[in-house]
């Protein structure tokens, strides 16, 4: 059994059929091993994109792989790794390293920063597990420790493989570590009694569902739960799409003062808020404008339950959902849903809202949306769809187009639709060419408002928000991508239809008035003192 | 005295008239302070480019500034910071951070990775000094400690400014720390006796000059030294341009087996090699193919002298050059220079060599070359010019175009010429638009051989070296940059002349045969087993 072939086979068995990255001289042997493995190497133009693509892939498949050369490669993926950490995406970053045999501290090996382990030290900060595989005797154990920790914690890990270790003979030295989530059956019983009593005692219980529902594959259970007890369901910002928006129990996306007013009314008016897999981040709460008394809260996360001011550590979302559905004696409720989706009327309709309305008409089962930062992110609150990947917490610009690459390869039965602002497109949008190269027929929608307009809405001076204007359609055509520019809702609807009807990658540039804002951003901007 | 205004004024006083970066919500107050300061903010499309631009700027002005938002911004500049560390470039990376008042560990603030200090911990690994300015009482001291360490060690530093500290009142709490290089007059005397005796005893002393000559501004002294004792001078790979190539004492660029055969003959045949500011890196030595007996070596670096197998710690390049010129009793030599520049003959002339020959004809005093990684880097060994910035040691692709931005703003009397491969251009070449935006009339030469061909020359399979082809000329035109495609030496000469005669940014795409290689790369590829 040899090191790199074993590693790649293991990752493939766990669901990684693609690995995103760029070759370099120090990792040529590693790329040889990758080429011989069942994993297909996908080459992006720049490493930050490789990291984002692996992140999107991981969100859909439970594991994503990014490969970068020592120094210049891997250190260009620190930011995507940090995002994967913050947003709980199980990405394995693999880097090469110089031959161990060459490591005289006096030698200046290229790509080396300070010492040979600088890169490992950096990745230790942004991952849940990391290892430099320098010893064949421990490599098997280390590989599995890192991979299993990544899968268990749903956060990134880092493996560094010196050039002369790629083909090293390794042995199955120990049983593969297995990280079963720590559970306490008694704590589950106690927590369920606690939860059941509180829900039953409450006047108007409400569910607030978050992104962990999707990550743990609990969407169907959530629907059953809502129907079983007839509870209203709001979703969080990052949790958009974890509950069907046309469902009679859906009451909107909650974002404090920035979210839908009705969802705010119901959520903040509840005397028992059952938060399922939802995080309390600043964006999730409309920059901390939410007013939820702690005593009304039941927060159930992957591995932890907090009720009011006390916490159960060894209880998790999967078992609580199960128990709520199968064993809990909760009484069904009456509730009249007065939620009206925020689709503004034709006369005052902004183009950005119209774009999201058109996008919401696409057949849900055939598309996956990847959303970049800016008003495409805030505006996506209005998007009615089942599969949405967004960096709603860490909020790194440039995610949209590379994520479409990752999502398209992870879910070949769905067509990716990337929603990206002009600022985000200028960062990583040139991966359009990579989409063509690997036959990922994405539709890329560039919401061009001529700059970092959400930043301006949050108080920035116009001067530092303007960006150099590109002709996005001409840029697309220069790399053999069909492009079209639209200025009205009707033109957009027509262009979207056409892009969806044809094969191949399409770009639609939507020219927005710089003052055109989604309702969410408009509300957020009112909250910001500047 | 307020924190950010003081910091920016101090950096401006030290030579930083520009700061490269991208705004973000967490650093809006910092950008306000920057706008009010004498420093001009320069906005790139993507943070990695901002880091490279600051690096190039620092190499020319002795200080460079990069500004990035918390998380997504600053963590996207780890790689350029690492390059600045490895190649000794004094860059100050400045990041914002969330308000200290908001730092409840339970709160999930966007852009946050693991804990509030994750980013600081990461930058500690890639800088010589770092600080989070969280206390007005120590801010003055910390700012100056970081800046002075950066200036003294010529390596990057990191400063993090929480949002609510930007305008904090700070006081001049202590004398500004001053890092005088540690010197020992006795050690200098002893080292000079040692050096003088060895040089005088030797049959054929040779100077090998490196990049620190340029960084410390010692070019004129080097020329005087060579003329004074009539010594042959080779330059190292990164040190290209530290000695005039038309000088009668110039014997070529030394790179072990990969360099000019004559320079190798003379350097390796010397019984006393005086290395002035040159590093022994793997690229400098043609992947360690150099054969220089340690006993013949005198290596003089910025703060250290090594003679044969013993070292003087408190002696540096500036004083040794001075002493060699003013006080040393060294006997002048006879030496017949048989160096013939490696300009291949018309009949077997490769297009890439012809390109460098044409570029060498430009008036040295009016241009600064910024070189990317790949055969543009190896080929630049043939470039006869005075100002060349290259990442010849750390070798991060994507340096060329952003470096032209930094160099153009740092040295407005020189026009930047960026030399970049198609792979490097796909990473960061879209900063073309940024060049236009800020009126930096660079000439960008894209050496398009259709992929990562130097990697292929070093043994990689063709399959993983091919990249998705762009129409670089059309891409340039799509962002209002004049572009032209050339296929012959004559066409290139004509296009270069035209680009230099006109104002504005120009792109010249040189279509190369994938097998066309510079002599240096050809020799390197022969040395590579795989």
Residues 4-43, chain B: which have Cβ within 8 Å of A? 23-25, 28, 31-32, 35, 41, 43
Residues 86-105, chain A: which have Cβ within 8 Å of B? 86
Least CB-CB distance to A43: which of B25, B396, B467? Answer: B467
Q: In this predicted structure, what is the pLDDT of residue A82?
A: 97
Q: Is residue A373 part of a domain?
A: yes
Under the banding of pLDDT at 50, 70 and 90, the label for residue A380 is: very high
Q: Is residue A174 part of a domain?
A: no
Average pLDDT, chain A: 92
**Percent of the residues in chain A that have a pLDDT greater than 70, as a whole number:** 96
Measured between beta carbons, which residues in chain A are less than 8 angstroms from residue B78?
Answer: 75-76, 78-79, 122
Q: Is residue A170 part of a domain?
A: no
Measured between beta carbons, which residues in chain A are less than 8 angstroms from residue B290?
Answer: none
As a whole number of Å, the CA-based R_g of chain A is 24
Q: Is residue B530 part of a domain?
A: no
Least CB-CB distance to A110: which of B109, B393, B477? Answer: B393
Q: In this predicted structure, what is the pLDDT of residue B348?
A: 58
Q: In this predicted structure, what is the pLDDT of residue B385?
A: 87
Under the banding of pLDDT at 50, 70 and 90, the label for residue A96 is: very high
- Residue A483 CB partners (closer than 8 Å, separation 6+): A472, A473, A474, A475, A476, A477, A506, A507, A508, A509
Same domain membership, residue B199 and residue B151: no
Residue pLDDT, tens place only, A156-200: 999 999 999 999 999 987 777 777 778 889 999 999 999 999 999
A379 touches chain B (CB under 8 A): no
Q: Is residue A240 part of a domain?
A: yes
Other C-beta atoms closer than 10 Å to the C-beta of B338 total 9
Least CB-CB distance to A45: which of B85, B426, B460? Answer: B426
B460 touches chain A (CB under 8 A): yes
Least CB-CB distance to B458: which of A25, A111, A428? Answer: A25
Q: Is residue A180 part of a domain?
A: no
Same domain membership, residue B451 and residue B371: yes
Measured between beta carbons, which residues in chain A are less than 8 angstroms from residue B86?
Answer: 71, 111-114
Tokens in use for B157? Answer: 């530093």
Which domain, by its residues, includes A450? 346-523
The string of DSSP letters for B105-159 reads TTSB-TT--SSTTHHHHHHHHH-SEEEE---HHHHHHHHHHHHHHHHHHTS-EEE
**Single residue among B325, B355, B372 that ends a domain in this structure:** B325
The string of DSSP letters for A148-188 reads HHHHHHTS-EEEEEEGGGTT-B----SPPP--PPP--HHHH
**Percent of the residues in chain A that have a pLDDT greater than 90, as a whole number:** 77
Same domain membership, residue A363 and residue A289: no
Interface test with A, best of B464, B507, B527 (most A CBs within 10 A): B464
B122 touches chain A (CB under 8 A): yes
Give which of B260, B215, B205 is closest to B239, Cα–Cα. Answer: B215
Q: In this predicted structure, what is the pLDDT of residue B530?
A: 42
CATH number of the domain to which B287 belongs: 3.40.50.1220
CB contact under 8 A, A283 and B46: no
Measured between beta carbons, which residues in chain B are less than 8 angstroms from residue A76?
Answer: 48, 78-79, 396
Residues 305-344, chain A: which have Cβ within 8 Å of B? none
Contact B286, B308 (CB under 8 A): no
Q: In this predicted structure, what is the pLDDT of residue B107?
A: 66
The CA distances from residue A354 to A140, A258, B110, in Å, are 54, 19, 28
Interface test with A, best of B478, B485, B530 (most A CBs within 10 A): B478
Measured between beta carbons, which residues in chain A are less than 8 angstroms from residue B110?
Answer: 281-283, 393-395
Q: In this predicted structure, what is the pLDDT of residue B106?
A: 66
- Which residues make beta-bridge pairs with B388? B369
Rounded to two decimals, the pTM is 0.94
Same domain membership, residue B134 and residue B9: yes
**Single residue among A293, A325, A357 that ends a domain in this structure:** A325
Same domain membership, residue B131 and residue B23: yes
B459 touches chain A (CB under 8 A): yes
- Residue B439 CB partners (closer than 8 Å, separation 6+): none
Measured between beta carbons, which residues in chain B are less than 8 angstroms from residue A114?
Answer: 85-86, 125-126
Same domain membership, residue A414 and residue A353: yes
Least CB-CB distance to B72: which of A47, A394, A436? Answer: A394
Residue pLDDT, tens place only, A497-530: 999 999 999 999 999 998 899 988 988 887 654 4
Tokens in use for B141? Answer: 């001291």
Interface test with B, best of A110, A119, A153, A155 (most B CBs within 10 A): A110
CB contact under 8 A, B76 and A434: no
A478 touches chain B (CB under 8 A): yes
Same domain membership, residue B207 and residue B151: no
User: How far is the alpha carbon of A139 from chain B, nearest alpha carbon, in Å?
Assistant: 25
Enter the DSSP assignment of B171. -
Helix or strand (DSSP H, E) at A473:
helix A472-478
User: How far is the alpha carbon of B262 from chain A, nearest alpha carbon, in Å?
Assistant: 25
Residue pLDDT, tens place only, A69-81: 999 999 999 999 9
* Dist. CA B161–CA A411, nearest whole Å: 42
Same domain membership, residue B309 and residue B358: no
Least CB-CB distance to A393: which of B108, B280, B284? Answer: B108
Least CB-CB distance to B72: which of A79, A109, A110? Answer: A79
Q: Is residue A529 part of a domain?
A: no
Contact A443, A420 (CB under 8 A): no
B45 touches chain A (CB under 8 A): yes
CB contact under 8 A, B433 and A32: no
Q: In this predicted structure, what is the pLDDT of residue B182?
A: 81
Residue in chain A closest to B106 (alpha carbons) equals A280
Least CB-CB distance to B85: which of A72, A79, A114? Answer: A114
CA-based max dimension of chain B: 75
| Total CB pairs under 8 A between chain A and B | 237
**Single residue among A165, A198, A221 that ends a domain in this structure:** A165
B48 touches chain A (CB under 8 A): yes
CATH number of the domain to which A519 belongs: 3.40.50.970
Total of domains in chain B = 3
Q: Is residue B176 part of a domain?
A: no
Same domain membership, residue B363 and residue B313: no
Least CB-CB distance to A430: which of B35, B396, B430? Answer: B430
Contact A283, A365 (CB under 8 A): no
A287 touches chain B (CB under 8 A): no
Tokens in use for A417? Answer: 């639709």
Same domain membership, residue A518 and residue A377: yes
Under the banding of pLDDT at 50, 70 and 90, the label for residue A288 is: low
CB contact under 8 A, B122 and A125: yes
Same domain membership, residue B155 and residue B215: no
Residue in chain A closest to B113 (alpha carbons) equals A86
Torsion angle defined by CA atoms of residues A282, A286, A288 and A289, in that order, rounded to the nearest 10 degrees? 180
What pLDDT tens digit does each residue of chain B (530 aa) get? 999 999 999 999 999 999 999 999 899 999 999 999 999 999 999 999 999 999 999 999 999 999 999 999 999 999 999 999 999 999 999 999 999 987 776 667 777 778 889 999 999 999 999 999 999 999 999 999 999 999 989 999 999 999 999 999 999 877 777 777 788 899 999 999 999 999 999 999 999 999 999 989 999 999 999 999 999 999 998 888 899 988 999 999 998 888 889 999 999 999 999 999 998 787 777 666 777 888 999 999 998 999 999 999 899 999 999 999 998 889 999 999 999 887 655 545 689 999 999 999 998 889 999 999 999 999 998 898 889 999 988 999 999 999 999 999 999 999 999 999 999 999 999 999 999 999 999 999 999 999 999 999 988 988 899 999 999 999 999 999 999 999 999 999 999 999 999 999 999 999 999 889 998 898 888 765 44
Positive or negative torsion for Cα B234, B240, B244, B247: positive
Q: In this predicted structure, what is the pLDDT of residue B112?
A: 79
User: How far is the alpha carbon of B127 from chain A, nearest alpha carbon, in Å?
Assistant: 9
Give which of A158, A172, A101 is closest to A129, Cα–Cα. Answer: A158
Q: In this predicted structure, what is the pLDDT of residue A287?
A: 65
Same domain membership, residue B28 and residue B153: yes
Residues in chain B: 530
Q: In what order do the strands lie in the sheet with B304-307?
A: B250-253, B233-235, B205-209, B272-276, B297-301, B304-307, B310-312
Interface test with B, best of A111, A121, A158, A398 (most B CBs within 10 A): A111
């Amino acid at each position: 059994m040899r090191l790199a072939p074993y590693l790649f086979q293991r990752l493939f068995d766990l669901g990684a059929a693609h690995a995103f990255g760029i070759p370099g001289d120090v990792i040529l042997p590693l790329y040889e091993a990758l080429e011989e493995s069942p994993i297909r190497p996908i080459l992006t133009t720049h490493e930050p994109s490789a990291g984002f693509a692996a992140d999107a892939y991981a969100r859909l498949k439970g594991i994503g792989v990014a490969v970068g050369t020592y120094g210049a490669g891997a250190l260009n993926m620190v930011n995507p790794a940090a995002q994967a950490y913050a947003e709980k995406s199980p990405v394995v970053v693999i880097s090469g390293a110089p031959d161990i045999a060459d490591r005289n501290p006096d030698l200046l090996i290229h790509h080396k920063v300070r010492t040979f382990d600088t890169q490992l030290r950096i990745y230790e900060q942004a991952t849940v597990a990391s290892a430099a595989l320098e010893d064949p005797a421990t490599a098997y154990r280390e590989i599995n420790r890192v991979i299993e920790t990544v899968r268990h914690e749903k956060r990134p890990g880092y493996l560094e493989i010196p050039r002369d270790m790629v083909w090293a003979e390794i042995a199955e030295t120990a049983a593969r570590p297995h990280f079963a989530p720590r559970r306490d059956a008694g704590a589950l019983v106690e927590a369920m009694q606690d939860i059941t009593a509180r829900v039953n005692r409450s006047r108007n219980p409400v569910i607030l569902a978050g992104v962990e529902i999707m990550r743990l594959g609990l969407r169907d259970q959530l629907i059953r739960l809502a129907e079983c007890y007839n509870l209203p369901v709001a979703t969080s910002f990052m949790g958009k799409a974890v509950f069907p928006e046309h469902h009679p129990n859906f009451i909107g996306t909650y974002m404090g003062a920035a979210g839908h007013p009705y969802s705010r009314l119901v959520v903040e008016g509840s005397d028992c808020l059952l938060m399922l897999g939802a995080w309390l981040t600043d964006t999730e709460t409309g920059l901390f404008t939410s007013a939820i008394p702690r005593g009304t809260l039941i927060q159930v996360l992957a591995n932890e339950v907090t009720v009011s001011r006390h916490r159960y550590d060894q209880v998790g979302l999967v078992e609580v959902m199960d128990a709520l559905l199968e064993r809990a004696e909760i009484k069904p409720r009456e509730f009249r849903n007065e939620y009206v989706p925020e689709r503004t009327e034709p006369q005052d309709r902004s183009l950005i809202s119209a774009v999201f309305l058109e996008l919401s008409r696409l057949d849900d089962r055939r598309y996956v949306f990847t959303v970049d930062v800016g008003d495409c992110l805030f505006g996506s609150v209005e998007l009615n769809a089942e599969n949405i990947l967004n960096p709603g917490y860490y909020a790194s610009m440039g995610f949209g187009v590379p994520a479409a690459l990752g999502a398209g390869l992870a879910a070949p039965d769905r067509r990716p639709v990337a929603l990206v602002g002009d600022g985000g497109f200028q960062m990583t949008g040139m991966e359009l060419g990579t989409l063509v190269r690997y036959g990922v027929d994405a539709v890329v929608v560039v919401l061009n408002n001529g700059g970092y307009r959400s930043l301006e809405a949050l108080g920035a001076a116009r001067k530092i928000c303007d960006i150099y204007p590109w002709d996005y359609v001409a840029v697309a055509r220069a790399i053999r991508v069909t492009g079209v520019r639209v200025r009205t809702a009707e033109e957009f609807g027509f262009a979207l239809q056409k892009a969806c009807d044809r094969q191949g990658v399409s770009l639609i540039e939507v020219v927005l008035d710089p003052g055109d804002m989604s309702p969410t951003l408009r509300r957020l901007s009112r909250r910001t003192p500047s």
